[in-house]
Structure 1
Amino acid sequence: MKIAVISFSRSGYALGEALHAGLIKEGHEVTTYTKSKYTKMVLDESQLDIDAKTIRNVKQFAKPVDESIGAWTSLRFQNSDALIFIGACGIAVRAIAPYVKDKKKDPAVVVVDEQGNYAISLLSGHIGGANALTLDVSRITGAKPVITTATDINEKFAVDVFAKRNGFYISDMGLAKDVSAALVAGKEVGFYSDFPWIGELPEGLKIAHEDEERPELGIAITSSYLEHPFVHTLYLVPRVITLGLGCRKDTAKEEIQNAVRKACDEQLIPTVAMEQVVSIDLKKDEPGILEYCRERNLPFITYTKEELAQVEGKFTKSEFVESITGLDNVCERSAVKGSEDGRLIVRKHAENGVTVALAMKKWSVEFE
């Protein structure tokens, strides 16, 4: 996690030094700032559970902040995963207020009083990770963690935390809130999954059996919107699908996008279910594919002809493709290869010189 820490006083600066060293030890990327003139404080390592080697390896602590807190916060909201304010809650609230937009995208915000008595999860407790970061801060400083999210204080299943841990796309944040509210109120929430799961189903979730009455509200873990197991279905979509592509040279990104969309429409597969795009290495510099992947932040992986020839299975043959690449099929073979010998869920779909295939890897849901 990329964390920005800011302090406003002598004691706050000293605590910032401690957090800087401790959070780095926890594996975070940390940059520390101060609006205080006290930028040359010496960290008293004897008061902290941090080894001296870790402290010596920290080359720089707080950078002075010359701009306003609002301007500093605006930039940190754009380039940080989390902000830690060492000072009064009021300072943090006023600083972040203009920039709070979307709980799916807002960074985590934690406030620690300058004496290190309390660490407060202020914003994006679940999806942003503020609750988990608050616990990290508490371990480092000895502060008492203050976490107010209802599912946490009632020790209930938190669907947004579960989704983040498993890398799910949450289809509807309003329904996610309804799921949490139902569980906190002691109501049953339905559970449906296209995938096997590891661990015990959390308390409050009821498996959706065909021959039994189902709750109106439920969670569906699936890579397709074909199924609608509950009246109000919250879809949690894992990234488990590999997109195999082939195309004519210099095919426009728009043509690729259109072909992918039509291939996905066959099974109502949302593009958020894709984890990567794959093809033959002849296409490694194809501008349209590269632009398509860049816009969606998807890795583009290519394989040699020899690698794809070794993929086992029955594939849709094309004499034209074979004359160009030396293989009877590129999109299906590469999709299966990329999914680690997963199963084809959409065979070759051709559209304006673009060929598309989708394969799903073997995968399981994990409950703690």
Structure 2
Amino acid sequence: MNIAVFSVTENGRKLSLRVGGLLEAEHKVSRYCFHKHTDDNSAVFWNMGSMVGRLFERSDAFVFVCACGIAVRAVAPYLGTKADDPAVIVMDDCGKFVIPVLSGHIGGANRLAEVIAERLGSQAVITTATDVGGRFSPDSFAAANGLIITDLKAAKEIAAEVLDDEKIGFCSDYRHGGLPSELTEFGVCRTGICVSRDTGKKPFPVTLNLVPRNIVLGIGCKKGTSAEAVRKAVSEALEQHNIDIGTVSEAATIDIKKDEAGLCEFCGSMGIKLNTYTAEELMAVSGDFESSGFVLETTGADNVCERSAVLCSGGKLIMKKTASDGVTVAAAEKPVYLDFEKEITL
């Protein structure tokens, strides 16, 4: 995570230094101190709101060591939706309490607050009703298992039904374990959760469709191919096969393309990792792949996109090679196992 830590007072500066040290091994932490109380390892700000605005789009979490009101006013102008906003946490400058105030489940604020509190010896103050009552939360389940929430209104209604002790239906195209008592796979339920790539499946009057982000793209391209050409080829191929681009989690190609500027730029803009493999590794993958003598002669592998997608995913090919303007695209689906006891990873 990209975490921005803000402090206002001298005590806050010292605490922000401790927080940064506790998190920097696992996350990218940047500290921002008010100009009257700063140090050599922090950036300086005069206006917190302006600095937050500059960082908002590229930060996964904000930790404010200050009064809650100051933090709320700083982030308020930039807030969008629950699904998109970063985690926001507030701490008093004595380090007694760690309070998640925004994006507790989806953004991971609750979990991050618990981690900080545990390492500081402080108290995490969790206020979300499902967490306080130890009940099932659709937001937390989705975030922990890498699922896309397609309808926040339905998610909110299901959370309310859980608190009212109403049974929630559940169906899934994927294996799962640890089904909580609040959910049932049997009987008639008014509200329910459906985990599938098909968002048209509505088995309940109020259905929350959760979609796995588990598609791996295999991409091959000519030298000098632009990022826009890659983007166009990918978009057209996925649309043709009715695959939501939002479900893509990774991309893969042959190692000789690891520094291909257009491909790297495309993956960076998508926020996905580009995995690369040698020709020998690709040729060792078993399966029914389209073979090209020209590609074999030039790269050492007879098919880059299909083989790399399958190898990276560890699953099955769901979209065979599609070619457009010097770009080849294939897609494979990573196996999914839904674990209801899994915690959000930061």
TM-score (norm 1): 0.77
1:343 pairs with 2:316: yes
Amino acid of the structure 2 residue aligned with 1:356: V
Partner in structure 2 of residue 204 of structure 1: 182
The 3-state SS of whatever aligns with 2:332 is strand
Q: 1:201 Cα shift?
A: 0.7
- Aligned equivalents of 1:361 and 1:284: distance in 2? 22
Q: 1:65 to 1:325 in 2, by over 3 A?
A: closer
Partner in structure 2 of residue 68 of structure 1: 47
- Aligned equivalents of 1:281 and 1:304: distance in 2? 5
Q: 1:156 Cα shift?
A: 1.6
**Equivalent residues of 1:103, 1:124 under 8 A apart:** yes
What is the count of residue pairs matched by the alignment?
Answer: 341
- Aligned equivalents of 1:175 and 1:221: distance in 2? 14
**Equivalent residues of 2:8, 2:37 under 8 A apart:** no
Deviations 1:135-154 (A, max 9, x none): 23433455443222122123
Partner in structure 2 of residue 332 of structure 1: 306
**Equivalent residues of 1:17, 1:61 under 8 A apart:** no
Q: 1:102 to 1:62 in 2, by over 3 A?
A: farther
Within a 5 Å distance, the mapping from 1:1-368 to structure 2 comes to 1-21=1-21, 23-24=22-23, 27-35=26-34, 37=36, 63=42, 65-198=44-177, 200-207=178-185, 213=188, 215-225=189-199, 227-247=201-221, 256-265=230-239, 268-281=242-255, 283-284=257-258, 289-318=263-292, 328-340=302-314, 342-350=315-323, 354-368=327-341
Q: 1:130 Cα shift?
A: 1.9
The 3-state SS of whatever aligns with 1:109 is strand
The 3-state SS of whatever aligns with 2:288 is coil
Q: 1:185 to 1:282 in 2, by over 3 A?
A: same
Q: 1:247 to 1:233 in 2, by over 3 A?
A: farther
**Equivalent residues of 2:33, 2:45 under 8 A apart:** no
* Structure 2 unpaired stretches of 5+: 342-346
Q: 1:336 Cα shift?
A: 1.9
The 3-state SS of whatever aligns with 1:306 is helix
Q: 1:18 to 1:268 in 2, by over 3 A?
A: same
- Aligned equivalents of 1:187 and 1:225: distance in 2? 24
Larger radius of gyration: 1
**Equivalent residues of 1:183, 1:189 under 8 A apart:** yes
Q: 1:11 to 1:194 in 2, by over 3 A?
A: same
The 3-state SS of whatever aligns with 1:316 is coil
Question: Is 260-269 or 189-198 further displaced after alignment?
Answer: 260-269
Amino acid of the structure 1 residue aligned with 2:339: E
Q: 1:196 Cα shift?
A: 0.9
The 3-state SS of whatever aligns with 2:105 is coil
- The RMSD of aligned alpha carbons is 3.4
**Equivalent residues of 1:76, 1:83 under 8 A apart:** no
**Equivalent residues of 1:13, 1:36 under 8 A apart:** no
Partner in structure 2 of residue 49 of structure 1: none
**Equivalent residues of 1:86, 1:113 under 8 A apart:** yes
Deviations 1:98-143 (A, max 9, x none): 2222323322222223344433222221222221232234334554
Q: 1:67 to 1:366 in 2, by over 3 A?
A: same
Deviations 1:295-349 (A, max 9, x none): 3123333434433322222223456655765655443223222223x22222334
Q: 1:61 to 1:170 in 2, by over 3 A?
A: farther
Partner in structure 2 of residue 56 of structure 1: none
Amino acid of the structure 1 residue aligned with 2:334: K
- Aligned equivalents of 2:4 and 2:276: distance in 1? 37
Percent identity (aligned): 43
**Equivalent residues of 1:9, 1:36 under 8 A apart:** no
- Aligned equivalents of 2:293 and 2:14: distance in 1? 71
- Aligned equivalents of 1:250 and 1:74: distance in 2? 36
